[in-house]
Amino acid sequence: MKFGILEVKGNVDLMPSSHFPDNASLYRAIITEADEIHVQLDYHDVVVPPYSILYVSIETALALSKEHEGRFYFLYFTEVFYRRTSFDDDLLNSPETFNTPQGFNVVTIEEELREYYASQVHFLYDVFSHKNLVVFNDLIHGLIKQLLLLGSLMGKQEEKLAHHVDADHEVVRSFRGLVEENLAVEKSVAFYAERLAISPRRLSFACKTVLNTTPKQFISKCIVKEAKRRLLYTSDSVREIAWKLGYEEENNFSAFFMKETKLSPSTYRKAYHGRG
């Protein structure tokens, strides 16, 4: 589980992939106020206007342009941290937020909403900087939801911001969607390659290029991510979670979870709730 919001001032070299080794699982947003921000998305230059939110999908490489100067907030969170309900899932997968063919979306806030928008961002930053994140977990979730709703309700991809999406990113985005749809019944790389009408080798190349991981590792990460979400935010037993994720035997699921996280499912659940 991971969440954070950073205030970035001046000419700072922000490279999320270097700060966060598991960057492939992070949703990211750049939030501007009075300053215009210059960034690179998949090595293409993009300008983020004042009072805007840039939503960046998990597959897209993000960096500041060399000419960047200004102040903004950098929000990041994992799906495990945020997704609790089907409505949360809809917001993450909205084409007005993170789920665009371009791999990003820019939303500029209407003038009459800017004071409210800024207050939500500042409040979220204050909570992250000064509060117990476990105690304030629900409040943080609600504040992030407000920022996603702004994009979902107001978002419209501008033509001038669209850029060429290369074939590897298209493959990975399609692969990710298929995994989310079929995770409980299919865990074979060959199945997903066949559905994508490409070879397993082509799928492996795309995953390595875009995510720096293998298709099998990506599928495993998705299983762990969904397992963690269910352990944290549902009352399902470990046996029920195992069954819902396609494991007939609870022991097989527990062994897999232990291998990936170094904790048993029950220990992971108790450790988190014990912090509260």
Residue 14 has pLDDT above 60, yes or no: no
206: CATH? 1.10.10.60
Query: 5 near 75, Cβ under 8 Å?
Result: yes
For residue 155, give the nearest of 100, 118, 114 by alpha carbon.
Answer: 100
Sequence letter at residue 61: A
For 21-83, give the DSSP string.
TTGGGEEEEEEESSS-EEEEETTEEEEE-SSEEEEE-TTS-EEE-TT--SEEEEEEEEHHHH-
CB atoms within 10 A of CB 92: 20
Which pLDDT band holds residue 100 (cuts at 50, 70, 90)?
Answer: confident
Estimate the crossing angle of helix 189-196 against helix 200-211, to 10 degrees: 100
127 shares its domain with 175: no
The DSSP letter of residue 253 is H
* pLDDT above 90: percentage of residues in the chain: 39
| Lowest pLDDT segment from 98-102, 125-129, 183-187 | 98-102
Estimate the crossing angle of helix 250-261 against helix 265-275, to 10 degrees: 60
125 shares its domain with 84: yes
152 shares its domain with 208: no
Query: 157 near 102, Cβ under 8 Å?
Result: yes
Residue 220: the pLDDT is 93
Residue 211 has pLDDT above 90, yes or no: no
49 shares its domain with 123: yes
Which pLDDT band holds residue 12 (cuts at 50, 70, 90)?
Answer: low
Residue 16: the pLDDT is 47
Residue 113: the pLDDT is 87
144 shares its domain with 75: yes
Q: Which residue has the tokens 């490279």?
A: 15
Dihedral (Cα; 128, 131, 133, 137), 10-degree rounding: -90
Number of domains in the chain: 2
Residue 131 has pLDDT above 50, yes or no: yes
Residue 163: the pLDDT is 47
Q: Average pLDDT in the 78-94 region?
A: 86
Residue 79: the pLDDT is 85
Residue 245 has pLDDT above 90, yes or no: yes
155 shares its domain with 201: no
98 shares its domain with 230: no
**Structural domain of 38:** 3-161
Query: 79 near 225, Cβ under 8 Å?
Result: yes
Give the mean pLDDT of the chain. 84
| Lowest pLDDT segment from 61-75, 159-173, 183-197, 231-245 | 159-173
17 shares its domain with 126: yes
224 shares its domain with 155: no
More confident residue, 158 or 235: 235
Residue at which a domain ends, from 161, 181, 203:
161
Output phi, psi for 10, to 5 deg.
70, -160
CB atoms within 10 A of CB 24: 18
Residue at which a domain ends, from 161, 177, 210:
161
Residue 66: the pLDDT is 67
Residue at which a domain ends, from 127, 161, 195:
161
pTM assigned to the model: 0.70
13: CATH? 2.60.120.280
Estimate the crossing angle of helix 137-154 against helix 114-130, to 10 degrees: 150
125 shares its domain with 193: no
25 shares its domain with 113: yes
153 shares its domain with 199: no
For residue 147, give the nearest of 52, 78, 38 by alpha carbon.
Answer: 52
Largest CA distance in the chain: 55
